[in-house]
């Protein structure tokens, strides 16, 4: 397995509104991001996802996070999404997403969840919450996972600590509140995106 985009960092735009999504997505794309997630607990996500998909075109994987049911996985695909991120391990949701052509980044915390996700067809795994578990936990988990499985750190990742997660065995990360908070100016999104890209490339 290989991560499908050039930069293995997922921009998590939790709470973004349709009014803001196009500008922020464009800022992320210009800074080098090519994987963007709009969590389904954001307002009017059924409007925001198609807007983001249209803005990105073939420049990025765009889809949804916090996908908790097979129905929602199908809806993301119906809206043109190509990426599904979950906070948990639900084999039925994984299988539905794969059947609809979505690239899957599946949330897990324990080895049992990780292997259940892989058995259901997960293409990558996200360890959540990474900052609470820490790099030593990541090293231990990485030792038992198949070496070709892309592993992302999600939860509490900042430009300052990204390198610790990469050194521990993650190929990249999902970036939430330190990259984007609802209502922040586009300039802040651009600034943080640049900081994350710099941190990744300098590791």
- 122-161 residue pLDDT tens: 999 999 999 999 999 999 999 999 999 999 999 999 999 9
Structure-token pair, residue 64: 């949804």
List b or e across 45-79, with b for residues whose CB sees 16 or more CB atoms inside 10 angstroms. beebbbbbbebbeebbbbbbbbbeebebbbbbbeb
Q: Given 31, 113, 126, 139, which residue is catalytic?
A: 126
Into how many domains does the chain fold?
1
1 located within any domain: no
What's the average model confidence in pLDDT over 93-107?
Answer: 98
Mean pLDDT of 169-188: 97
From 23, 26, 31, 37, active-site residue: 37
Residue 136 lies in a domain: yes
User: Please, are residues 18 and 44 in contact by the beta-carbon 8 Å criterion?
Assistant: yes
- Cα–Cα distance for residue pair 188/162, rounded to 1 Å: 19
Within a domain: 166? yes
Asked if the structure places residue 3 within a domain, the reply is: no
Q: Is residue 4 part of a domain?
A: no
The predicted-structure confidence for 5-53, as pLDDT tens digits, reads as follows 999 999 999 999 999 999 999 999 999 999 999 999 999 999 999 999 9
User: Which residues constitute the domain of residue 93?
Assistant: 9-202
Is 37 catalytic? The answer is yes
CB 133 within 8 A of CB 114: no
**180, 12 contact by CB (below 8 A):** yes
In a domain, 92, yes or no: yes
Indicate the average pLDDT of the chain.
97
- Examine residue 2 and state whether it is found in any structural domain, yes or no: no
Q: What is the pLDDT of residue 1?
A: 80
DSSP states of the chain as a string? ---SSSS-EEEE-TT--HHHHHHHHHHHHHTT--EEEEETTSTTHHHHHHHHHHHHGGGSEEEEES--SHHHHHHHHHTT--EEE-SS--HHHHHHHHHTT-EEEEEESSHHHHHHHHHHT-SEEEETTHHHHHHHHHHHHHHHS-TTS-EEEESS--TTTHHHHHHHT-SEEEE-TTT--TT--HHHHHHHHHHHHHHHHT-
Residues 175, 6 contacting (CB under 8 angstroms): no
Query: d(Cα 106, Cα 125) in Å, to the nearest integer?
Result: 5
Return the CATH number at 166. Answer: 3.20.20.70
- What does DSSP say about strands 172-175 and 61-65: parallel, antiparallel, or unpaired? unpaired
Is 191 one of the catalytic residues? no
């Amino acid at each position: 397995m290989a991560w499908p985009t050039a930069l293995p960092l997922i921009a998590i735009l939790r709470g973004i509104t349709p009014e803001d999504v196009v500008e922020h997505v464009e800022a992320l794309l210009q800074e080098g991001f090519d994987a963007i997630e709009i969590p389904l607990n954001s307002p009017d996500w059924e409007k925001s996802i198609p807007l983001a998909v249209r803005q990105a075109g073939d420049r990025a994987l765009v889809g949804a996070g916090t996908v908790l049911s097979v129905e929602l996985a199908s809806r993301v695909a119906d809206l043109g999404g190509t990426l599904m991120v979950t906070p948990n391990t639900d084999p039925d949701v994984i299988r539905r997403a794969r059947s609809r052509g979505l690239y899957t980044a599946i949330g897990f915390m324990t080895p049992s969840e990780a292997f259940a996700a892989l058995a259901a067809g997960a293409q990558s795994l996200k360890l959540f919450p990474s900052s609470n578990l820490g790099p030593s936990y990541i090293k231990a988990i990485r030792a038992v996972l198949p070496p070709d499985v892309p592993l992302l750190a999600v939860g509490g990742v900042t430009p300052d600590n990204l390198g610790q997660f990469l050194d521990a065995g993650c190929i990249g990360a999902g970036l939430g509140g330190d990259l984007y908070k609802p209502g922040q100016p586009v300039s802040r999104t651009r600034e943080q995106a640049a900081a994350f890209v710099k941190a990744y490339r300098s590791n």
